[in-house]
Structure 1
Amino acid sequence: MTSIAILGANGRLGRAVGKAFIQAGYHVRGITRSGKLPADLAGATGIAANALDREALVRATAGVDIIFHGLSPVYSDWSSVLPMAENVVAACEANGAILLFPGTIYNYGSPLPEIITEDTPFNPTTEKGRIRVALETMLRTEADAGRLRTILLRAGDFFGGTGTGSWFDLGMASKIQKGVYTAAGPADIVHEWAYLPDLAATFVELADRQDQLGYYETFHFPGHAITDLQMKAAMERAVGQKLAMSSLPWWVFKIGAPFMPMWKAMLQMAYLRFQPHRLASNRLEDVIGSIPHTPLDRAVAEALTDLGIPVASLAAQKEAA
């Protein structure tokens, strides 16, 4: 049985990916600081390790075939991103494991290309973007040297799955039970979203085909490239009522940014909410065939249900799927 270690198994992405690999019949090892795993990863083996402790991480991942990097630092402090990645690379190389890595759109900077493919050149214009480019450069260098195999899947903003902390729950759906939809930018701007169960299923599809892939492979995940108007309409259908439209008060963030690190970090990346963009792939479908894609209405209804928000149409969405 093929084995995979999920780093960051308590996080939103790690949980979704771990669950998908369990369902696909892999032996899953969840790596967390405490070794404890959430209930939705029943069937996985929990191992305690701190990703900033290289020797501990190498030991915790010993014997696995694949390592998934689902570690995510506090959004306002990315000083640990590269050190953690270096330790993950060391663990992969020490154990001969393939690295599965989730990429971001941060690499492309501002202004964003409206259509971003695997061939679109990087142009980082923020600290987070420069860190992500440096990280991917390191992975590519290790692959070119024959020391590490990496499969990178780049995606947009997350929604769905267990957990909180995305624009979907912190912004759009934050006041939905009061009858309000909150747009983070112009309502008619196309924004790239990744429904986590679909993204997780795509990682499984790529892992299943690892023998067909080279030492360094990059794919883009075309999820739901939609406007706030389309997202709002899907939420309205899910909850069975019309929602008022409100806008995120970015001026408040500008005032508070010098005093609040999280607001400063959000403000630096605000361009993502004001510039239209979508991910496209020249390669993914050729490798895995049909790309996992839950219809928008069903995905939104399930994502709201995951947040504990009453939904009127979930049963109908499942029947229609």
Structure 2
Amino acid sequence: MTKIAILGANGRLGRVVARAFIDAGFDIRAVTRTGKMPAELKGATAVAGDALDRQSLIQATEGVDIIFNGLNPIYTDWGKCLPMAQNVMAACHANGALHLFPGTVYNYGSPMPAVITEDTPFHPTTEKGRIRCAMEDLFRREAEAGRVRTILLRAGDFFGGTGSGSWFDLIVAAKINKGTYTAPGPADLVHEWAYLPDFAVGFVALARNLDKLGFYEALNFPGHAVTDLQIKAAVEKAVGHQLKMAAMPWWVLRAGSPFVAMWREIVSMSYLRFQPHRLASTRLEGVIGEIPHTPLDRAVAEALEDVGIATVNGAAEAA
């Protein structure tokens, strides 16, 4: 049985990916700083490992075949990203493990390309974009040197899964119980979203089709390229009533950004909310077959339930 270590198993992405690999029959090791894991990961083995301590991470991943890198520091702590990535490379190399990594669209900078393919060049214009490019450069160098094989799957903004910390639960759905849908940007602007359960199944499919992949691969995951008007309609269908439309008060964040570090970091990435973009792939379907894609109405209903918002029929029955 293939053994896979999930780094960041307490995080939203790590939990969903771990669950998908458990359901697919993999032997899962959930690596967290404390050695404790969410109850929803029943069937996994909990192991303590600190991603900023190289030896600790090497020991925590000893004997695994695959390391899923779900490490994602909070926005104000991104100085840790590259040191963590270096330690993950060391752990993969020491244990002969393949590296699975979730990519972002930060690499492309502003102005955003309207359509992003696997061949679209990087043009980072923010510190976070430059950090992400540096990480991917590291992964490519390790692969080209024959030390660590990396398979990267790039996605847009996450929604779905338990926990907090996404634009969907923090902004979009924050006032739904009060009758309001909050749009982070222009309501008719196309934005790339990834429904996490679909994204997770995509990683499982890649792990099952490694014979079709090279030593370094960066693939796109086309999720839901939709507008806030479309998401709002899906939310209204799920909750059974119409909602008022409100705009995110960007002026408040901009005014306070010199004094509030998190607001400053959010404002630095605000262009993503004002420039249309979507992901396209010329290769993913050829590798894994049909790309996982839950219909928007059902995905939104399930995502609402995941964050504790009641739906009319329950997510399982949503159209």
Report the equivalent of 1:101: 101
Structure 1 residues 1-321: aligned runs within 5 Å: 1-314=1-314, 317-318=317-318, 320=319
- Give the distance between the partners of 1:63 and 1:300, measured in 2 at CA: 38
- Closer, same or farther: CA 317–296 of 1 in aligned 2, 3 Å: farther
- Give the distance between the partners of 1:86 and 1:135, measured in 2 at CA: 8
Tell me, what secondary structure is at the counterpart of 2:129?
helix
Which stretches of structure 1, 4 residues or more, deviate above 6 A after TM superposition? none
- Give the distance between the partners of 2:69 and 2:92, measured in 1 at CA: 10
Query: What is the number of equivalent residue pairs in this alignment?
Result: 319
Q: CA deviation at 1:154?
A: 0.2
Give, as a single letter, the amino acid of the residue that structure 1 aligns with 2:259: F
- Give the distance between the partners of 1:125 and 1:40, measured in 2 at CA: 38
Aligned 8 A contact 1:76 1:265 in 2: yes
Give, as a single letter, the amino acid of the residue that structure 1 aligns with 2:232: K
- Closer, same or farther: CA 106–315 of 1 in aligned 2, 3 Å: closer
Q: CA deviation at 1:211?
A: 2.4
Give, as a single letter, the amino acid of the residue that structure 2 aligns with 1:9: A
Query: When the two structures are superposed, what TM-score results if normalisation uses the length of structure 1?
Result: 0.98
Q: CA deviation at 1:224?
A: 0.4
Query: When the two structures are superposed, what TM-score results if normalisation uses the length of structure 2?
Result: 0.99
Aligned 8 A contact 1:297 1:317 in 2: no
Give, as a single letter, the amino acid of the residue that structure 2 aligns with 1:132: R
- Closer, same or farther: CA 305–91 of 1 in aligned 2, 3 Å: same
Aligned 8 A contact 2:188 2:229 in 1: yes
- Give the distance between the partners of 1:317 and 1:201, measured in 2 at CA: 21
Aligned 8 A contact 2:105 2:155 in 1: yes
Give, as a single letter, the amino acid of the residue that structure 1 aligns with 2:91: A
Give, as a single letter, the amino acid of the residue that structure 1 aligns with 2:47: I
- Give the distance between the partners of 2:219 and 2:122, measured in 1 at CA: 15
Aligned 8 A contact 1:159 1:303 in 2: yes
Q: CA deviation at 1:223?
A: 0.4
- Give the distance between the partners of 1:288 and 1:317, measured in 2 at CA: 27
Q: What is the root-mean-square deviation in Å for CA atoms of aligned residues?
A: 0.8
Give, as a single letter, the amino acid of the residue that structure 1 aligns with 2:38: P
Structure 1, unmatched stretches of 5+, are none
Tell me, what secondary structure is at the counterpart of 1:92?
helix
- Give the distance between the partners of 2:145 and 2:220, measured in 1 at CA: 24
Q: CA deviation at 1:49?
A: 1.0
Give identity over the alignment, percent.
Answer: 68
Q: CA deviation at 1:130?
A: 0.2
Q: CA deviation at 1:315?
A: 5.4
- Give the distance between the partners of 2:193 and 2:315, measured in 1 at CA: 23
Tell me, what secondary structure is at the counterpart of 2:78?
coil
